[in-house]
Structure 1
Amino acid sequence: MFFRFRAFGRENFPKEGAVIVAPNHASFLDPIIVGVAAPRKMNYLARDTLFKHRPFAKILQWVHVSPIRREAGDMNAFKLALTKLSDGEPVLIFPEGTRSQDGNLQEPKPGIGFLEKTSGAKILPCYVKGSRDAWPRHSRFPRVSPVSVYFGKPLRFENLSANRRERYVQVVEVVMKAIAGLKRDASQSS
């Protein structure tokens, strides 16, 4: 990789078993960067429009990316993610659902709460720092810039609302607070 790259908290990444990796999303580089930092092979969900160009679609499939329709909850994509999790594999899901316009954390979507409740998997919060500078939103190509990944401690959820929709929202709120904490720690360490 041609970026000045560092990974922190890799010891927090479970060595085995199902885990939902939940990073912030500021750049197209984020899944690649988290995949390089992770000590295990990752599985990803990405918007289906990225699969329109055949050569690029083949590359995405080769690195374990599956398409998801973003306009509504794509149950086929969730079923695929649940299959990977039931097989004990890690799955990367961006709680925000899409890249940030300004680099700040965005309002999360409840899908990660659904996956956590349905699979029973731990959620590993993750913060990617510098990816937006390395490949800005409207830039055609990436540029050399320092990029760091910070893995937090795995989260387990107990004593949450019995109402499933409320629970999903509670889960994503806790996850986003954990990501915000990692962001704070990252900015203090630089």
Structure 2
Amino acid sequence: MWYRFFRRCFYLFFFFFFRWEVIGKEKVPATGPVVLCCNHIDNLDPPLVGASLHRQVYFMAKEELFRIPVLSWLLHRFGAFPISRGKSDRQALKTSLELLKQGKLLGVFPEGTRSKTGDLGEAHTGAAFIALRGEAVVVPAAIIGPYRPFRKLRIRFGDPIDLSVYRQDRTNSQSVREVTDRVMNEIRALQEQR
């Protein structure tokens, strides 16, 4: 209930204050486990992605945000869960895989932090690892900003990426790196379509 309420609020916010355009949302599977990988340019990225889709999107958020009482309450209502950045976080991995096992949609920013320039940064391999282990479909997405009131703001969703060829050895570090590179190349291609 809370998620639908906030999704509607953010939908109206982006609709009225930005020339918001959502492209390709029909490419996101309506059911089943999905890892949605997107570039990260602003703190508003998670609500933008969530407001763009009918399915609930579950996000990882840095654990520091959950130490702020009101924000922690809101994040939990949004379906977010904490992750410790800069180290292996077994609990976040476990939560991610459990969500995928339940057929949910997990939103991940592979860069791990916001880009100050809008250019894609170096990606971590966590999203690829989770997608391979969780038997999920990967959908790339690109937010094309910047966030400026009454200026064009786009989010473009790409075609799902078939990972079956990489699933022969789901823990193989080479496969995880190849999937990560492929996902980032797809995000870059979506950015360039403008």
1:54-69 equivalences in 2 (<5 Å)? 54-69=69-84
What is the identity, as a one-letter code, of the residue corresponding to 1:72?
Answer: K
In 2, the alpha carbon distance for the partners of 1:14 and 1:117 equals 17
Change beyond 3 A, Cα 1:76–1:39: same
- 29, 48, 52: which is aligned to 1:37? 52
Matched with 1:182 is 190
Q: Which runs of 5+ in 1 are unaligned?
A: 135-142
The question of 1:110 aligning with 2:125 is answered: yes
Matched with 1:133 is 147
Query: What secondary structure is seen at the aligned counterpart in 2 of 1:5?
Result: strand
Cα shift at 1:83: 0.7
What is the identity, as a one-letter code, of the residue corresponding to 1:151?
Answer: F
The count of corresponding residues between Structure 1 and Structure 2 is: 177
Question: After superposition, what is the alpha-carbon deviation per residue over 1:139-174, rounded to whole angstroms, capped at 9, x for unaligned?
Answer: xxxx45332110001111133484611111111100
Matched with 2:97 is 82
Residue 13 of structure 1 contacts residue 39 of structure 1 at CA under 8 Å; is this kept in 2? no
Q: Which runs of 5+ in 2 are unaligned?
A: 1-12
- 13, 16, 20: which is aligned to 2:28? 13
**Higher helix fraction (1 or 2):** 2
In 2, the alpha carbon distance for the partners of 1:25 and 1:45 equals 13
What is the identity, as a one-letter code, of the residue corresponding to 1:182?
Answer: L
TM-score under structure 1 length normalisation: 0.88
Residue 10 of structure 1 contacts residue 39 of structure 1 at CA under 8 Å; is this kept in 2? no
Matched with 1:138 is none
RMSD across aligned C-alpha pairs, in angstroms?
1.4
In 1, the alpha carbon distance for the partners of 2:96 and 2:45 equals 19
What is the identity, as a one-letter code, of the residue corresponding to 1:173?
Answer: D
Query: What secondary structure is seen at the aligned counterpart in 2 of 1:45?
Result: strand
What is the identity, as a one-letter code, of the residue corresponding to 1:117?
Answer: L
In 1, the alpha carbon distance for the partners of 2:176 and 2:28 equals 23
Matched with 1:97 is 112
Q: Which moved more, 1:68-77 or 1:156-165?
A: 156-165
Residue 21 of structure 1 contacts residue 123 of structure 1 at CA under 8 Å; is this kept in 2? yes
1:147-158 equivalences in 2 (<5 Å)? 147-158=153-164
In 1, the alpha carbon distance for the partners of 2:181 and 2:85 equals 20
In 1, the alpha carbon distance for the partners of 2:161 and 2:54 equals 18
What is the identity, as a one-letter code, of the residue corresponding to 1:116?
Answer: A
What is the identity, as a one-letter code, of the residue corresponding to 2:32?
Answer: G
What is the identity, as a one-letter code, of the residue corresponding to 1:5?
Answer: W
